Homo-oligomer: A and B are copies of this chain.
Amino acid sequence: MEKKVRKRKKATMADVAAAVGVSKTTVSRYLHGDYEFMSEETRKKIQTVIEEFNYRPNRAAQNLKADRSNCIGFTIADIGNPFSSLLIKGVQAECRKRGCQLLIADADNSLVQEKKNIESFFNEQVDGVIINSVGNNRDYIQEISQSEENKPIVLLDRTYQPIFCDSVVSNNEAVSIEMMQELEKQGWEYIVFLTESVEGISTRATRKETVERFLSDNHKLDGQIIVLGGEKKLDIMAKLAQIISVHPRTCFFANNDEVLRRIISYLYHMQQEIGRDVGVCAFADEKWAKYSGPGITCIEQHPFQMGESAADLLFQRIEKKEKREFIYREIKADICRYDSTHLK
């Protein structure tokens, strides 16, 4: 009698089979849509009982058999960022198509945490991992990409060269050049490219280097790079003021949203009017940029599409076992023009 009371557990496949008066195999086939050789009657009965019991197959058991978890892991450098959110949405869209679950872990810009995230994904036997790296983690990632039962890995947005696994990024170099050309055409004469440390972070480094190269190759357009560190707000403002006073037609170019916000704030307090006294443009989220001041010209990447693309590559690797070359995929970014770079 104690047997009977077994803690109101979930219905199992055996329960369903018993209730229908059929074997587990048949129920299993039903679940997988193998109706071909099944009597209409059996099918309906099974359907009824499943609903009645609110039966759901046990994933753990399925996974155990299949030797696959139907889960992928996604570690994100810093989730508190509209860009990252959209990466997630993209990855998730692709996961839903495949009926795969998504394990997400934020690395909080910490290298140590990123490693822990990845480690924990593998402990969880995910089928693959997407990495939006915090940077400077090349060696570790390369090592696991080879040792770890060759579970597939895809790098997203931030990559490591030369590539050792599939990677999806924006066309940072091309679009940076395009932006610079456009600024030149608009009549700006001095470009100040502002960025946080680019050390070990591919996206930032690529953009910075591209701008640097452009400035040194181009005799009409002059400018400089400023790498923001822990300086005092007032010191930076003084520096910017000095630049503006020497160079008329200065346009500031921010390497990301965060830097853009700071520039806007500095200029506000310096009482410089954007779009008239100075220009501003940025790698930034368009939805946000268009509401700022006169509207800030920005380079809008396509994080959603990047996420989808990365997940797609990952699933290809998971499914087809044949080895193929690593894919390096660039997603085109777009320039969204607003008044902040419209020189009057």
Q: Is the CB of A125 within 8 A of B92?
A: no
Chain A residues 252-294 with CB under 8 Å of chain B are 261-262, 264-265, 268, 288, 291-294
Complex-state Cα separation, A103 to B153, whole angstroms = 19
- Write the chain B residue with the least CB distance to A83: B80
Chain A residues 119-140 with CB under 8 Å of chain B are 120, 122-125
**In the complex, per-residue mask of A68-82: 1 if CB is within 8 Å of any chain B CB, else 0:** 010000000001111
Q: Is the CB of A56 within 8 A of B105?
A: no
Question: In the assembly, how many copies of this chain are there?
Answer: 2
> Among the interface residues A61, A79, A103, A108, which one has the most CB atoms of the partner chain B within 10 A?
A79
User: 14 A-B contacts, Cβ less than 8 Å apart?
Assistant: A58-B64, A59-B69, A60-B69, A61-B64, A64-B64, A79-B85, A79-B89, A82-B82, A84-B85, A85-B85, A103-B104, A261-B291, A264-B292, A268-B293
Which of B92, B125, B264 is A106 in contact with, Cβ under 8 Å? B92
Query: Which residues from chain B contact A120 at a C-beta distance below 8 Å?
Result: 101
**In the complex, per-residue mask of A290-329: 1 if CB is within 8 Å of any chain B CB, else 0:** 0111100000000000000000000000000000000000
Q: Is the CB of A88 within 8 A of B106?
A: yes
**In the complex, per-residue mask of A187-200: 1 if CB is within 8 Å of any chain B CB, else 0:** 00000000000000
Query: Which residues from chain B contact A343 at a C-beta distance below 8 Å?
Result: none
Complex-state Cα separation, A84 to B262, whole angstroms = 23
Residue A49 lies at the interface, judged by CB distance under 8 Å to chain B: no
Q: Is the CB of A125 within 8 A of B60?
A: yes
Query: Which residues from chain B contact A104 at a C-beta distance below 8 Å?
Result: 88, 102-104
Residue A242 lies at the interface, judged by CB distance under 8 Å to chain B: no
Complex-state Cα separation, A102 to B105, whole angstroms = 8
Residue A149 lies at the interface, judged by CB distance under 8 Å to chain B: yes
Query: Which residues from chain B contact A161 at a C-beta distance below 8 Å?
Result: none
Residue A86 lies at the interface, judged by CB distance under 8 Å to chain B: yes
Residue A54 lies at the interface, judged by CB distance under 8 Å to chain B: yes
Residue A146 lies at the interface, judged by CB distance under 8 Å to chain B: no
Which of B81, B122, B125, B261 is A85 in contact with, Cβ under 8 Å? B81
Q: How far is the CB of A40 from chain B (nearest CB, A)?
A: 26
- Write the chain B residue with the least CB distance to A295: B265
**In the complex, per-residue mask of A39-52: 1 if CB is within 8 Å of any chain B CB, else 0:** 00000000000000
Q: Return the 7 tightest CB-CB contacts between A and B, nearest first.
A: A60-B63, A80-B85, A60-B64, A265-B291, A104-B104, A261-B291, A79-B85
- Write the chain B residue with the least CB distance to A57: B123
Query: Which residues from chain B contact A125 at a C-beta distance below 8 Å?
Result: 56, 58-60
Residue A247 lies at the interface, judged by CB distance under 8 Å to chain B: no
Complex-state Cα separation, A63 to B69, whole angstroms = 12
> Among the interface residues A8, A125, A262, A288, which one has the most CB atoms of the partner chain B within 10 A?
A125
Residue A10 lies at the interface, judged by CB distance under 8 Å to chain B: yes
Complex-state Cα separation, A61 to B64, whole angstroms = 6
Q: Is the CB of A288 within 8 A of B268?
A: no
Query: Which residues from chain B contact A58 at a C-beta distance below 8 Å?
Result: 64, 125
Query: Which residues from chain B contact A123 at a C-beta distance below 8 Å?
Result: 56, 59
